[in-house]
Every structure is written in C-alpha cells, then in structure tokens.
Amino acid sequence: MSTGVVNPGAGRPFHRIAVVGIGNVLLGDDGFGPLAVEMFRRLYQCDSNVEILDLGTPGLDLAPYLYDTDLVVIADAIYPHKEEKPGTLCVYCEDDLGSSHAQLRLTSHDPGVQESLTQLRLAGHAPSEVIVVGVVPESCGLGKGISLSVLNTCLVAVDTIARLLVERSIDCRRRHAPVQRTLWWLSSSA
C-alpha cells in the first residue's frame, strides 16, 4: 500500500525528524496521537535524529518543538471534509491542511498546527515537509478511553508512520521484540 503522500524533497537528506502525537489522553479518542507515537516507539527503532514526542494539547506551544526540523509527522485525531467512519485513517501533506481536504481538530483544544507553521515559516525555521497521519475519532468524552475502532486503526497508523520514514530513506526498523513502555493513562482506572 502506498501512503499516497508524494515526497517533494525526494533524495534530499532529512537531518532532524520529529514524530509527534497531539491530543488529550484523558479525553477518549482525542488521545489517538499520543497513543500512536508511544506504540511507534515500542514497535520501531529509528535513527537518533528521529525525535518521538507526545505533545499533548500544546496550542501555540507547538512551535518550539517543530523549530528547525526538516520533516514532521503529526499523529492526531482529525475531522475530514467529507464524512468518514470513525477509525478511518487519513494521511495528508501540508498543502491539504490549508485547503478543505482536512480539518485538524479545531474544537476544544485547537493544536494551532497551521499558526505554528506559518510563524516558523516567516521566521525561517519551518520544517520542509509536514505529514499528518490522522484518524477520525468516535468519541472524545472524559475518561472514556480509546474506542475499539480507533484502537484497531492505531496499528495501521503506526506502520504507516514507519513506511513514510522509510520512503524518505530514514532508518526505521521494526524491533524483534517490542520495548516495554507504560501507557499509564490506559492502566487500571479508579
């Protein structure tokens, strides 16, 4: 399966790569982004120039984490322009964000992705490529946990992130055995 995202900088080396998850882990499927990057960390081993970050809901505080990166892969809950079933995986390039193809989660905590990118571009420190790996949420209620539809897509999303990196000649290999990470917010609830 192709990721469908054309690599505009083909052949050009990426020096600093960030794989970031956005969303609130306490609010159901809004926690898709953080879950996806933690699962990616468990299952894949990358070059040391790949930073894997659970950024929560940073708003405009996002900019410092993208500052001077070359490639950014953002995992996030999204609402596409046409209605899609919960759990649908959607991959977008940066140009799609400004158009009607995708709308990033602009509700209870707008991640400010576009604002941050515009500021970084004006300041001359923006990434050259931005890819969003999004999943359509089912429910973002307090303390609800991740729904089954989003959880099922999560593994596909993780493999997609890996493929996007490999397509760009970034060293990213599946681990022989997953590393143990505590996904504390999914552990026994009260």
Partner 1 sequence: MARISIDPVTRIEGHLRIDVEVDGGKVQKAWASCTMWRGLETILRGRDAREGWVFAQRFCGVCTTVHAIASVRAVEDALQLEIPANAQYIRNLILIAHALHDHIIHFYQLSSLDWVDIATIPKADPARAASIAEGYSNWPGNSRRELEAVQSKVKGMVDSGQLGIFSHGYWGHPAMRLSPELNLILFAHYLQALEFQRKACQIVGVLGGKTPHIQNLAVGGVMNAINLNSLATFNMDRLGMLQSLLQELIPFVQQAYFVDACLLSGSYPEWFRYGRGVANYLAVPDLPTDAKATQFDLPGGLIMKGNLASVQPIQNWRDQAFRSAVAEDVTHAWYKGEGAQTPWKGETDPNYTDFQADKKYTWVKAPRYNGQPIQVGPLANVLVGYASGHPLTRKWTDTAFKTISSVHDSGAPGFNLTPEDLQSTMGRYLARAIRSAMLSDLALQHWQLLTDNILKGDDTTFNPPQFPSHECEGVGMHEAPRGSLSHWVIIDKGSFTNYQAVVPTTWNASPRDAKGVPGPYETSLIANPVVDPEKPLEVLRTVHSFDPCMACACHTLDVSGREIARVKVL
Binding residues for partner 1, per CB under 8 A?
A: 24-26, 54-61, 63-65, 67-68, 106-110, 112, 114-115, 118-120, 122-123, 125, 142-143, 184-185, 189-190
CB 67 → partner 1: shortest distance, Å? 5
CB 163 → partner 1: shortest distance, Å? 26
Residue positions counted in the chain: 190
- Secondary element (H or E) of residue 132: strand 129-135
CB 109 → partner 1: shortest distance, Å? 5
Name the nearest CA neighbour of 135 among 72, 90, 95, 73. 90
Pick between residue 110 and residue 167 the one whose CB is nearest to partner 1.
110
| Cα pseudo-dihedral 183, 158, 155, 91, rounded to 10 | 120
Question: Distance of CA 130 to CAs 18, 21, 96, Å?
Answer: 10, 13, 10
Pick between residue 126 and residue 162 the one whose CB is nearest to partner 1.
126
Pick between residue 115 and residue 167 the one whose CB is nearest to partner 1.
115
Pick between residue 108 and residue 169 the one whose CB is nearest to partner 1.
108
CB 25 → partner 1: shortest distance, Å? 6
CB 184 → partner 1: shortest distance, Å? 6
Name the nearest CA neighbour of 92 among 166, 168, 164, 16. 164
Q: Using alpha carbons only, what angle is made at residue 37 by residues 6 and 83, rounded to the nearest 5 degrees? A: 60
Pick between residue 20 and residue 164 the one whose CB is nearest to partner 1.
20
Compute the half-sphere exposure of residue 131: CA atoms within 13 Å on the CB side of its CA.
Answer: 25
Q: Sign of the C-alpha dihedral, residues 87, 40, 93, 54? A: positive
Rounded to whole angstroms, the Cα distance separating 5 from 40 reads: 19
CB 114 → partner 1: shortest distance, Å? 6
Pick between residue 24 and residue 147 the one whose CB is nearest to partner 1.
24
